[in-house]
Structure formats: C-alpha cells, structure tokens
C-alpha cells in the first residue's frame, strides 16, 4: 500500500526504485528524509555543498580522498567544492558557459585555490589529451559525453585510483545510448583490471528519487 501511494517521476516504479528497477532497502528510507531536508536547505541557502551522488558514494569517497589526492571531474558545482576541500587539487571540466560563469563566481567567493576550472566543448571536452597517464587518484564522470570520457580518461588513473560513473541507471530505453555505452566500458575495465564493479543505488542530497552510480578501482 505504501509503495502505491509514493509519487514517481515516470521513469521508475516509484520513489523506492532507481531506473533499472533496483529497490532501496528499508534502512535507506531515512536517506529520503535527509534528502528532503537538504533540498530545502539548498533552496534557501545554497548550502551545504555536497555532491549529488548517492549517500553511500559520499561515504566511500570520504574514506578514499586525502590531502594528497588529485581529482579529475566532468560536470561541476557543489561537488567541486566538496572535492576541493578534501583533495590536493581538482580539475573540473564544464561545457555550459552560463553555469561555468556562475560557479566560477562561487569559487572566487569561497577563495578556492586548488581548483583548475575549465570551460570546454565538443571533442575538447572529453579528449583528456592534456593529462599525463596515471595522474589522478579519482576520476568522476558526471557530465556530457560520458562514454567518451570513460574511454579517454581511464589511462589517466593511477594504480589504486577510482573511476566513478554517476547516473548509471539512466537511458535504459536506449540500448546504444551514451550511458549504456559508458556502463559497458566500465564493465570492460573492471574485467581488464580484475576488479569488482560496485553499484550504489540510493538517494542523494536534494534528490528525492534514488539513482545509481558505478565505481571501479584500478588494480
């Protein structure tokens, strides 16, 4: 009865499922309340600065990151601030000029000195040709052209580093869509590295629908 009364966004059964049909556990329902509270706080104050990834991923990255970590991020915003406060340096790539200008002003106000914030479009966005192999401890793919970003950046990851693909449950109706290709590449890399591909389904700060992210560690 409870599930039938929960409003959905049309892409999943209800607010208890991601777009692949994975159901959150009963222990994660408290995350929905937290997500709602954070949504209100962010609407009123633009804070706290938390990445819009499942709470379990935030916990994982909190354990992984340290003051020596070098991060490459596709897609920018609150996540960039959160990463910069935990890592040595962050290179963040954005393709929306208006958003880049807005977020740049926020970075200036917060006096973030360890963020290299780049506005890139088209092939330059996902080429990764400027980066030396085995440079980064964490690469986050959460913007445009995700399959190409995964394909072009995995060599830039250090041994022991993590590659994260957000929203891996989306575009389920498009078999050869960008997200499906990106997840297939993640699976291929996991096999190549003899590493488990970990999937995290859950609520995220400010998002009242669960979604999934995929994480693999380079061996």
User: Tens of pLDDT along the chain (219 residues)?
Assistant: 344 445 566 778 899 999 999 999 999 999 999 999 999 999 999 899 999 999 999 999 999 999 999 999 999 999 999 999 999 999 999 999 999 999 999 999 999 999 999 999 999 999 999 999 999 999 999 999 999 999 999 999 999 999 999 999 999 988 899 999 999 999 999 999 999 999 999 999 989 999 999 999 999
How much is the pLDDT for 174?
87
- Full set of structural domains in the chain with CATH: 17-217 (3.40.50.150)
Alpha helices in the chain (DSSP H): 2-5, 29-45, 55-64, 78-84, 97-110, 122-127, 146-153, 178-192
8 A C-beta contact, residue 142 and residue 73: yes
Q: How far apart are CA 73 and CA 84, in angstroms?
A: 11
How much is the pLDDT for 8?
61
| Residue 100 CA to its chain's centroid (Å) | 17
Q: Determine the 3-state secondary structure of 72 from DSSP.
A: strand
8 A C-beta contact, residue 168 and residue 199: yes
Structure tokens at 22: 């994975």
Q: How far apart are CA 39 and CA 52, in angstroms?
A: 11
User: What does pTM read for this prediction?
Assistant: 0.94
8 A C-beta contact, residue 215 and residue 60: yes
How much is the pLDDT for 2?
44
DSSP tally for the chain: helices H, then strands E: 8, 7
8 A C-beta contact, residue 97 and residue 119: yes
Q: Which residues contact 91 (CB under 8 A, 6 or more apart)?
A: 71, 72, 73, 115, 116, 118, 131
């Amino acid at each position: 009865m409870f599930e039938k009364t929960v409003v959905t966004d049309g892409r999943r059964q209800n607010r208890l499922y991601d777009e692949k049909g994975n159901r959150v556990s009963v222990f994660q329902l408290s995350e929905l309340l937290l997500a709602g509270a954070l949504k209100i706080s962010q609407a009123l104050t633009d804070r706290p600065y938390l990445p819009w990834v499942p709470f379990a991923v935030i916990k994982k990255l909190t354990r992984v990151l340290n003051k020596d970590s070098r991060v490459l991020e596709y897609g920018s915003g609150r996540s960039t601030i959160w990463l910069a406060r935990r890592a040595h340096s962050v290179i963040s790539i954005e393709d929306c000029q208006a958003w880049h200008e807005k977020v740049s002003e926020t970075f200036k106000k917060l006096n973030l000195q360890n963020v290299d914030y780049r506005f890139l479009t088209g092939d330059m966005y996902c080429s990764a040709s400027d980066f030396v192999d085995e440079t980064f401890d964490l690469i986050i793919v959460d913007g445009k052209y995700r399959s190409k970003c995964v394909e072009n950046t995995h060599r830039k990851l250090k041994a022991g580093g993590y590659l994260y693909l957000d929203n891996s449950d989306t575009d389920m109706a498009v078999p050869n869509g960008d997200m499906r290709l990106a997840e297939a590449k993640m699976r291929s890399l996991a096999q190549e590295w003899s590493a488990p591909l970990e999937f995290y389904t859950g609520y995220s700060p400010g998002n009242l629908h669960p979604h999934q992210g995929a994480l693999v560690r380079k061996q």
